[in-house]
């Protein structure tokens, strides 16, 4: 097969949020005396204060559930409430979902700002979705959206595959929604409302890294990849990258590098390359299509499952022609080689980040 490039080439649905307007954070649990059984005759005469406390407690529980067990800041709570009331437009926030036949009911709570591109049959596509030819997988969908809407992009766009964003990924046969433990889909929506962020122009939760010349991978330990994997609970939003010097008991660190046995042969066959030249081809791909200085130690950090969010300004750091070139490479085959490589480099091709997302370890 003709290679697309050469060395000489150029989760469970989130609870719906209904907080009262003045609510801005979780409340302590109600004293048990407010909840004790009372005779039937008294049940219709609850005091207004007790009713208010019950309502606020329910709102607090919903708010914490929406953040994966974490309390949210006032601005985040208000933004979720605006989404619930349908007050957020696509000029402010847009959620782009790449669908084939996945059930997207989990995303109904923000359907007013949702754009679903569907590549399945008419009976598989959600009502209101935009049909696309079944080529290029999610990489084609994301790039099609950017190219088509380049001059009218939302201020903040979330890109995701259409499957429910459950924790981890255990392979095609066993599923998983690619979500990092401790995070929720709402975290991608609410990034602009956070006062302190590692990268205000984009939101990536890095779960893997690959050494491009050897294709050896290292996985984040809080990313579930096997059934029954025990992962420590996190009380805060996970950082973009784990600390490379985190103690083993912290639960969030980089695992050791290892060779994915089938990956080299799969990529070489998919891309029409000799396996012996694969390392050089990966670096050539970077030079010709990512068009940035090579990452430190040739290690690329990425989010498994290709879920991320970015601002209009970040996307516009690259000209439209750059994205058009990438789109053309995934516009002919249903399962092209380049889409797998794009998953490794979304952080670097969405805009022009000035540095790598994660620090290297001393070993690297």
Lowest mean pLDDT among 71-75, 115-119, 313-317, 328-332: 71-75
CA–CA distance, 344 with 24 (Å, rounded to integer): 38
Average pLDDT over residues 289-299: 97
CA–CA distance, 120 with 163 (Å, rounded to integer): 14
CA–CA distance, 266 with 268 (Å, rounded to integer): 6
- The pLDDT, as a whole number, for residue 251 is 77
| Mean pLDDT over the full length of the chain | 81
Helix (H, G, I), strand (E, B) or coil at 312: helix
- The pLDDT, as a whole number, for residue 273 is 93
- The pLDDT, as a whole number, for residue 2 is 39
- Identify which of 10-14, 49-53, 91-95, 238-242 has the greatest average pLDDT: 91-95
> Can you give the C-alpha Rg of the chain in angstroms?
23
Lowest mean pLDDT among 16-25, 129-138, 230-239, 312-321: 16-25
* Phi, then psi, of 115 in degrees rounded to 5: -120, 115
CA–CA distance, 106 with 110 (Å, rounded to integer): 9
Lowest mean pLDDT among 19-33, 209-223, 248-262, 279-293: 19-33
Residue 122 has pLDDT above 60, yes or no: yes
Higher pLDDT, 103 or 227: 103
Q: Which of 86, 64, 69 is nearest to 19 (CA)?
A: 64
pTM, full prediction: 0.80
What contacts 341, CB < 8 A, 6 or more positions away?
282, 285
Residue 154 has pLDDT above 90, yes or no: yes
- The pLDDT, as a whole number, for residue 9 is 41
- The pLDDT, as a whole number, for residue 237 is 85
CA–CA distance, 242 with 169 (Å, rounded to integer): 18
- For residue 265 the two structure tokens come to 């042969």
| CA-to-CA dists, residue 126 to 102, 202, 270, 305, angstroms | 9, 28, 31, 21
- Identify which of 20-24, 191-195, 327-331 has the greatest average pLDDT: 327-331
Higher pLDDT, 230 or 7: 230
Beta-strand pair 216-219/208-211: antiparallel
- The pLDDT, as a whole number, for residue 361 is 85
Residue 39 has pLDDT above 60, yes or no: no
Q: Residue 97: which H helix or E strand, with range?
A: strand 94-99
Residue 49 has pLDDT above 60, yes or no: no
CA–CA distance, 325 with 348 (Å, rounded to integer): 15
Higher pLDDT, 158 or 17: 158
- For residue 211 the two structure tokens come to 């050494």
Residue 135 has pLDDT above 70, yes or no: yes
- The pLDDT, as a whole number, for residue 199 is 87
- The pLDDT, as a whole number, for residue 233 is 61
- The pLDDT, as a whole number, for residue 157 is 98
- For the chain, the distance separating the N- and C-terminal CA atoms, rounded to the nearest angstrom, is 35
**Is residue 204 within 8 Å of 197, Cβ to Cβ?**
no
pLDDT tens profile 199-235: 899 999 999 999 999 999 998 988 766 666 666 666 6
Residue 177 has pLDDT above 60, yes or no: yes
Q: Which of 199, 205, 206 is nearest to 300 (CA)?
A: 206
What contacts 128, CB < 8 A, 6 or more positions away?
111, 116
Rounded-to-10 torsion of CA 239, 194, 234, 106: -110
Residue 29 has pLDDT above 50, yes or no: no
Higher pLDDT, 12 or 286: 286
Q: Which of 327, 305, 317 is nearest to 348 (CA)?
A: 317
- The pLDDT, as a whole number, for residue 197 is 72
- The pLDDT, as a whole number, for residue 168 is 62
Higher pLDDT, 190 or 36: 190
Lowest mean pLDDT among 16-30, 108-122, 318-332: 16-30
Helix (H, G, I), strand (E, B) or coil at 324: helix
Average pLDDT over residues 129-153: 98
Helix (H, G, I), strand (E, B) or coil at 95: strand
Residue 338 has pLDDT above 70, yes or no: yes
């Amino acid at each position: 097969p003709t290679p697309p490039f050469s060395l000489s080439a150029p989760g469970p649905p989130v609870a719906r949020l209904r907080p009262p307007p003045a609510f801005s954070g979780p409340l302590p649990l109600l004293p048990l005396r407010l909840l004790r059984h009372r005779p039937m005759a008294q049940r219709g005469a609850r005091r207004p204060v007790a009713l208010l406390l019950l309502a606020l407690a329910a709102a607090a529980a919903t708010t914490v559930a929406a953040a994966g067990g974490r309390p949210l800041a006032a601005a985040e709570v208000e933004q979720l409430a605006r989404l619930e009331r349908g007050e957020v437009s696509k000029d402010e926030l847009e959620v782009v979902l790449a669908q084939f036949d996945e059930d997207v009911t989990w995303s109904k709570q923000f359907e007013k700002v949702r754009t679903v591109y569907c590549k399945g049959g008419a009976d598989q596509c959600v009502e209101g979705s935009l049909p696309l030819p079944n080529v290029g997988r999610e990489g084609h969908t994301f790039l099609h959206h950017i190219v088509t809407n380049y001059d009218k992009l939302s201020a903040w766009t979330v890109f995701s595959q259409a499957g429910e964003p459950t924790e981890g990924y255990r392979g095609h046969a066993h599923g998983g929604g690619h979500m990092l433990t401790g995070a929720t889909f709402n975290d991608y929506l609410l990034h602009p409302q956070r006062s302190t962020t590692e990268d205000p122009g984009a939101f990536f939760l890095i779960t893997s890294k690959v050494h491009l010349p050897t294709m050896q991978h290292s996985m984040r330990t809080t990313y579930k990849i096997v059934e029954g994997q025990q992962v420590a609970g996190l009380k805060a939003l996970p950082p973009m990258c784990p600390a490379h010097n985190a103690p083993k008991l912290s639960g969030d660190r980089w695992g050791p590098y290892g060779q994915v046995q089938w990956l080299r042969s799969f990529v070489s066959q998919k891309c029409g390359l000799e396996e012996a030249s694969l390392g050089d081809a990966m670096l050539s791909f970077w030079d010709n299509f990512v068009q940035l200085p090579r990452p430190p130690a040739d290690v690329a950090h990425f989010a498994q499952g290709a879920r991320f969010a970015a601002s209009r300004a970040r996307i516009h750091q690259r000209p439209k022609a750059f994205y058009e070139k990438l789109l053309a490479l995934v516009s002919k085959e249903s399962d092209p080689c380049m889409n797998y490589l794009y998953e490794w480099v979304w952080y670097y091709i969405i805009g022009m980040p000035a540095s790598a997302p994660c620090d290297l370890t001393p070993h690297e």
